[in-house]
Structure 1
Amino acid sequence: MTELLPNHVGGRWQTGSGAGVPLFDPVVGTELARVDATGLDLPAAFDFARDIGGAALRALSYCQRAGLLAAVVKVLQTHRDSYYEIATANSGTVRNDSAVDIDGAIFTLGQYAKWGDALGDVHALRDGDGVKLGKEPVFLSQHLQVPTRGVALFINAFNFPAWGLWEKAAPALLSGVPVIVKPGTSTAWLTQRMVRDVVDAGVLPAGALSVICGSSNGLMDQLQPFDVVSFTGSAETGALIRSHAAVAHRSVRVNIEADSLNSAVLLPDATPGTDAFNLLVREVVREMTVKSGQKCTAIRRILVPATVYDAAAEAISAKLRGVTVGNPRNESVRMGSLVSRAQLNAVREGLAALQRQTTVLHNGSEQALVDADPAIAACIGPVLLGAKDADAADSVHDIEVFGPVATLLAYRDVDHAIALAHRGQGSLVTSLYGSDDGALARTAVQLAASHGRVHVVSPDVAQTHTGHGNVMPMSLHGGPGRAGGGAELGGLRALDFYHRRSAIQASPAVLAGLGLH
């Protein structure tokens, strides 16, 4: 039997007592390792993180904790090559796609280390200015934020085993809150290895970082009132978390990132042949194929004027025809596999549902694979669907196929395009393409209410925009409605989730002694 990856809880490495769940190479089908959390003393694990790890982190100032993040960055950079090997083996990603996850994680950590260093040698954060409570300024109210005295539980998805950990852990650790991460099971190896390297390097206090692989059973039961939980995954599981007693009765703070039917909108001035039209085509193809479409921020709906529908269909399909799919170890392969055969089956089922109300414009699901056996590999080529009657295609606005699948939709006018984008019921991101600055600005404001991020691409930013699906630590990551209603990143705004706000009412002399940043 392959290695049973140990969990790190209670300040030590511990293996589960069960046989474990196997992790596979999704391209060649070989078993890589097993994960299991059976028999772990979860109450003791959470108590250790909360009491030992939390106390050690809170004893440090923000700039000292920023130094911890910088030390973590150095550890991860030292082992970077091994992370790429794991990503290829366990996630089936080509090198460029692995970089989105691994290098994106390291970059995000580095940013929070810089931002945290600028907060200074303080233990609490000022929240606004002091306000007098009477006519004379002798008794005032000063709001501040202090680290919550609990643990941060991360229940993560399978698609970003590196970035999914560190984009949450960076602001949590900087805030002074210990982390327990439960990675998505099918790709847990990379998360576990990163935690192992950081723990073994001894750069964090004991109890500051724990990892539990395998089943999530019992984790929510351990949460206490000052703990927080962050979940990334399906809306159904998110609903279960929200209804759990820890949240419903103990008021545990929860952040959820769930399903998201993100869109790309081509404005009427971006006719075929223009730079803006070509930018949309390029970005759609990139978002359909990066990580085989397994991104929460990937473009799922492409909204174009009805007059350019056919031209857009041909332009996008032409580029998709050049995408090679198969074994990521082959240098000619541009797009690797999905993470598992189970995920491949889910994509096929989702495609079947969407095809009932759409037509197939490009069918990469039948293309030959490179160095991969279609009977074993979890590979599928990109599929572009289409619906000229976007209003009638209800399923397109309701079903997210988590793979290399997108649907082209025709709209009548800009108001119709905005209405269609809103039919996603809340999304992480939408992108706009055009050359008319005024029209782009007006449309962006109209879309903002149902999207966590509006990514505007005009020809003047063609070489500098960061990409529709790239989540930058400087900007908000989250979205309303079906996207979960959560908020991550956004610079130092991310620290809000891990802090408690309080008002100190006192004399100016006392308030001056609070030592606030």
Structure 2
Amino acid sequence: MLEMTHEHWSKRAEGLNPGGAHLIGGSEEAGSGGAFPVVAPRDGRVLTHVADAGAAEVDAAVAAARRAFDSGPWPRLAPAERGRILIRLADLLEEHREELALTISLEMGKPITDAYAIELRAVIATFRWYGQLADKVADESPHTPADALALVTREPAGVVGAVVPWNFPLTLAGWKIAPALAAGCTVILKPSEWSPLSALLLGRLAGEAGLPPGVLNVVNGAGPVAGRALGLHPDVDVVAFTGSTAVGRHFLRYAADSNLKRVWLELGGKSPNIILPDAPDLDKAAATAAWGIFFNQGEMCTAPSRLLVHRSVADQVTEAIVRRAGQLRVGDPLDPATEMGALVGETHLERVLGHISAGVREGARLRTGGGRARPVPGGSYLEPTVFDQVDPGQRLAREEIFGPVLSVLAFDDLDEAVALANATEYGLAAGLWTSDLSTAHRVSRALRAGTVWVNCYEEGDLTVPFGGMKQSGNGRDKSVHALEKYTELKTTWIQL
């Protein structure tokens, strides 16, 4: 990867010819819903046109998944055999790693280095881990009276609609698809209309790995049409969604208005990152805070967008972050030296710029950035942006921006820091920097967040669950706990 140059990736991009059909029942289907363009945010050019699903295409995909679940081999395979196919899919993802990374970089603007080294590493590891786990989760036989036998079996929940966003298009798809398939479910994947191409490649590779027809289907289209049709469909048993809180509410309504399907939600975040004056390394804390908000162009639900720093060290930490923002290389996503690429598109860029303008109007101090960057003509780029003197009631401190915009809030004591951290409708993640073990435990318990990182940020692996509290959603991705979303517990009581 390190030897691959900007020229290498640019030439590969010129030769990329992604397909744009739906994958339904093992076949590529153009459908009757027309097509929509996929625009590269790096330069604004149209990469290709992709089939646009309406209700008919969603019906066909659900019917294929239903047949595959009710009468196909996948739920009836030995778990070890399902696991071998998932591991084969992980191997194929590794073989096609360069093509997949290039596709992700082009469709959503992620730097090619991050797409190859971080996103593809994560999704490959996900399918391999759940492939290895598939036959390791045992059923139960509780203790009963001598005249009875009780069995508790974990059975696949059925047809799963997985609706995933554009910011980590394969990682977040893998977090849903892999445990669902390992459990024996069948899946309809609906990627974001801004990043459908990598999902279609994943679907083709899944067929090549040996998934039977209909086990994994991919339909493209807009959320209000294709997503709504999945949410309302009576033959979908489970919906797993990652995206905005507003759309998550729609899926809960769809479930209520249809078959009361289970809906699992991983939604927005406004994550606090607390730096205490006794942090073991203030320079590292500042560098990590800067990395966390600018990584992936700030387009992360866990981004530490609220920096809560003790007033005694606030100037020191803020100045270090401002310096780092000024050094950050914003550039062409296909240049391996680029540290921050393009935002996903002009619509999203304008939305983020609107938040920045509101921050200035409301009185926060703009320390650096705040405007467009223009490394590639036609692209959707933003300067790394830092505000301080932010008031907790301002939009900068309350609303999810989903861009490289940091809000710095100073506090005077620990109780104030915890209160500020929890003063949000979200509860996805949080960070804490301290050398005191007791403080680390007490504050971690007090923070209403699904993940708390102490003296680090964005660390972890597939053994630990990921998900939120409050309006950041419910259920957990990753770890063995993800299987709980895609399985039903059945009790069989046998009187002897």
Question: Partners of 1:12 and 1:225 in 2: how far apart?
Answer: 21
The aligned residue for residue 450 of structure 2 is: 452
Contact 1:262–1:428 under 8 Å retained in 2: yes
Output the CA distance in 2 between the equivalents of 1:105 and 1:250: 31
CA RMSD of aligned residues (A): 2.2
Q: How does 1:340-419 map to 2 (within 5 A)?
A: 340-366=345-371, 369-370=374-375, 372-373=376-377, 376-387=378-389, 390-391=391-392, 393-419=393-419
Whether 1:307 aligns to 2:312 is yes
CA distance in 2, matches of 1:227, 1:495: 15
- Name structure 1 gaps, 5 residues minimum: 120-124, 458-466, 510-517
Check whether the contact 1:299–1:469 (CA below 8 A) recurs between aligned residues: no
C-alpha separation in 1, matches of 2:192 and 2:53: 16
What's the offset of the Cα at 1:53?
4.5
Partner of 2:97: 80
User: Which residue in 1 is equivalent to 2:487?
Assistant: 499
Equivalent residue in structure 2 for 1:215, among 202, 222, 236: 222
**Structure 2 matches for 1:66-215, cutoff 5 A?**
66-98=83-115, 99-119=117-137, 125-127=138-140, 129-132=141-144, 136-148=145-157, 150-199=158-207, 201-215=208-222
CA 1:53 to 1:11, structure 2 compared with 1: closer, same or farther past 3 Å?
farther
CA distance in 2, matches of 1:42, 1:88: 27
How far off is 1:361 after superposition? 4.4
Distance apart, 1:357 and its partner CA:
3.5
Is the Cα–Cα contact under 8 Å of residues 234 and 258 in structure 2 kept in the other structure? no
1:11 paired with 2:34, answer no
Q: Deviation at 1:471?
A: 6.0
Which amino acid is the alignment partner of residue 354 of structure 1? G
Give how far 1:142 is off: 3.8
Asked if 1:24 corresponds to 2:39, the answer is: yes
Other-structure match for 2:290: 285
Secondary structure of the residue aligned to 1:432 is strand
SS in 2 for 1:256: strand
In structure 2, stretches of 5+ residues that fail to align are 1-16
What residue is the counterpart of 2:276 in the other structure? 267
Paired residue type of 2:58: L
Shift in CA distance, 352/486, structure 1 to aligned 2, threshold 3 Å? farther
Identify the range of structure 1 (220-229 vs 70-79) with the bigger mean alpha-carbon deviation.
220-229
Spell out, residue by residue over 1:328-380, the C-alpha distance to the aligned partner (whole angstroms, 9 max, x if none): 2334432111111111111111222233345334322347543x12xx21000
Q: Secondary structure at the match of 2:416?
A: helix
What's the CA shift for 1:22?
A: 0.6
Deviations 1:145-187 (A, max 9, x none): 2112x21101111111111211111100000001110101111
Partner letter of residue 258 of structure 1? Answer: L
**How many pairs are equivalent?**
474
Structure 1 residue 433, shift from structure 2 partner: 0.8
Distance 1:355 1:97, change over 3 A: farther
- C-alpha distance in 2 between matches for 1:470 and 1:190: 25
The one-letter code matched in structure 1 to 2:269 is S
Secondary structure, in 3 states, of the residue corresponding to 1:159?
coil
Aligned pairs for 1:16-55 within 5 A:
16-38=31-53, 40-53=56-69, 55=72
Q: CA deviation at 1:253?
A: 0.4
Flag the 1:181–1:471 CA change in 2: closer, same or farther, 3 A: farther
- Report the 3-state secondary structure (helix = DSSP H, G, I; strand = E; otherwise coil) of the residue aligned with 1:241: helix
Q: What displacement does 1:398 show?
A: 2.2
Amino acid at match of 1:59: R
> What amino acid sits opposite 1:115 in the alignment?
L
Change (3 A) 1:486 1:395: farther
Residues 358 and 385 of structure 1 are in contact (CA less than 8 Å); yes or no, is this contact kept in structure 2? Answer: no
Counterpart amino acid of residue 451 in structure 2: R
Identity across the alignment (%): 26
1:256 aligns with 2:265: yes
Alignment match, 1:463? none
Please tell me the residue identity of whatever aligns with 2:130. Y
What is the TM-score with the length of structure 2 in the denominator? Answer: 0.90
Q: Is 1:484 paired with 2:473?
A: yes
Q: CA deviation at 1:140?
A: 4.7
Distance 2:129 2:367 in 1: 40
User: In the aligned structure 2, how far is the partner of 1:187 from the partner of 1:413?
Assistant: 44
